[in-house]
Structures are given as structure tokens and as C-alpha cells.
Amino acid sequence: MFPKNSFHLCAMPSYTDQLGNTITVKQAPQRIISLVPSQTELLYDLGLDDEVVGITKFCIHPDEWYKEKTKVGGTKKLKLSKIAELKPDLIIANKEENEKWQIEDLQGLFPVWVSDISTLEGALEMISTVGEMTGKKDRAGEIVKEIKTGFKGLQKLVKGQPKKSAAYLIWQRPYMTIGEDTFIYDLMKRCGMVNCFDEEEYYRYPTVTIDQIKEEKPDLVLLSSEPFPFKEIHQKEIQEWIPKAKVVLVDGEMFSWYGSRLMKAPVYFSELIGSF
């Protein structure tokens, strides 16, 4: 028999993040900080309004959180002292969006769970684990189920259709695109697109020129709304340079946000594909 005040009654569960680090957190943490916009939106959709005490200045969804929650800096320039003041019992971070040295500093003080996502499967795993860590396992399961159902429908839509080659631009001056091992790349494939820059030499986020894009002869040139906010003026300019391609402005959040926004992505992709 355990002593009356035995600590086994307060044992904290352990979780392994997507980098292989194991952390322990109290059951249903009450002071959560999110350092990733798409994962901030997930916490909102999990129903963690009171529990989330800090977000970044780029966490624009939901609007009421952006207006009311304490900002802890940008994703790449965190205010570590502000984070410490909030005394978090769980921090949600991401390998790509946050700076390694800042995350390592935080890991020495607080439980930090780090995601590393390049596929839809990785995103669903993250959603499930975050739901379990935060005491919202059932709601996370509902979100995962809805996302899976949506993408199954998208798969049926694109099945049998001819694939279109596409260049996806995320930045201007210089132009930057996406290569392999990126979440955007995985979602493009699910939309029946063949990325023009998926060779090994174009790993992750390469810089390209207009001439290089022309050489690839893409059916589509997709101009993302983020991180660079491409507008109609850029669309018209590139269309003149590459007249044989269809140049389209696309919602970057649908292609790159790997949280609960994925519930909306299949409908958006279906409409986008229908416009080609």
C-alpha cells in the first residue's frame, strides 16, 4: 500500500514530440503558450480558451485571441522573458517555424512539445497528441475524423484526372518556391499536382528565377498569399512572362497550415481544382 501522501497520485503523463524529445506535463495543463499560428488555431478549436495564456504576433486566427491574448513576440523572435513571466505549464512549438536556440532555452525551463510536419499524416498525429496532452482527446478525434473524411473526398475527385505540373511561389525578390519534404508539397500531390521543383537539387525552399520557371513549362503557377502576399499586380506580371501557364492566386493558409484549418482545406482545394 502506498503512503497517504504518495506522489504516485500526482504522477504526470509523458509525451514524445515529433523530434523524439520526451516531456512530462500535468494532466490538462492550465497555462499553455503556442508559438505557431496554425497550432494556435487548433487550440482554439479544441476549446482551450481559458487555458491559452500566450501566442505570437503572427497568430491571427481566431481574431478574438489575436486581439486579447498576450503576445510573446514573433515566431522567429520570441520574447523569452515575457514567456517566463506567463509561467507556462506547456509550450507548443515547431521545428521549422521557431528558432532552435530559443526553443532549447525554453526546454531548460518548461515542458516544450515540438512538432515537425511535412505530411498530412504528420499533421493528424500532431492534432491527436496535442488533444491528448491538453485533455481534449475526444474533440481532437472529431477534428481528425473530419479532416480524413474531407481528404478522402478530395482523393476521389482527383482520381483519374490528368495531373498538372505546378510551380508554387512563396516569395518575391528573389522568387522562392517549395521542394520536397514540405507540407505544401504533400498537399499539392493530394490535389493532383506535380511540383516542377521536386528534384533533389531543389530541396525544401529554393530560390528560382523566372527563366527557370519558364524552362519547367508548368501548367500552373500558384502565387501564395503567405509569407509573401502576392496580389493581382504580381499575377498579371508573371502571366505576361509565362503566357502558356495559368497563373493563380491561392490561399497560403490552406496549403501550409497543418492544424484544424485542414477541416476547411478539402472544400477549398475542390473549388480551386474546378477553376483550372
pLDDT tens, N- to C-terminus, the chain (276 residues) = 333 443 344 578 999 999 999 999 988 899 999 999 999 999 999 999 999 999 999 999 999 999 999 999 999 999 999 999 999 999 999 999 999 999 999 999 999 999 999 999 999 999 999 999 999 999 999 999 999 999 999 999 999 899 999 999 999 999 999 988 899 999 999 999 999 997 755 578 999 999 999 999 999 999 999 999 999 999 999 999 999 999 999 999 999 999 999 999 999 999 999 998
The strand ranges marked E within 127-245 are: 164-171, 175-177, 193-195, 207-208, 220-224
Q: In 142-181, which positions are buried (b, 16+ CB within 10 angstroms) versus exposed (e)? A: ebbeebeebbeebeebbeeeeebebbbbbbeeebbbbbee
Helical pair 137-158 and 265-274, crossing angle rounded to 10 deg: 10
Using alpha carbons, select from 193, 203, 48 the residue that is nearest to residue 130.
Answer: 48
Q: Which of these three, 100, 116, 132, is where a domain ends? A: 116
The per-residue pLDDT for 262 is 98
Cβ neighbours of residue 228 closer than 8 Å, sequence gap 6 or more:
169, 170, 171, 172
The per-residue pLDDT for 55 is 98
What is the total count of domains within the chain?
2
Question: pTM of the predicted model, to two decimals?
Answer: 0.93
Q: Do 81 and 170 share a domain, yes or no?
A: no
Q: Do 169 and 237 share a domain, yes or no?
A: yes
Amino acid of residue 273 = I
- Distance in angstroms (rounded) separating the CA atoms of residues 99 and 97: 7
**Domain of 246?**
160-274
Q: Do 270 and 164 share a domain, yes or no?
A: yes
- C-beta separation of 33 from 85 below 8 A: no
Is the backbone peptide bond immediately before 174 cis, with ω within 30 degrees of 0? yes
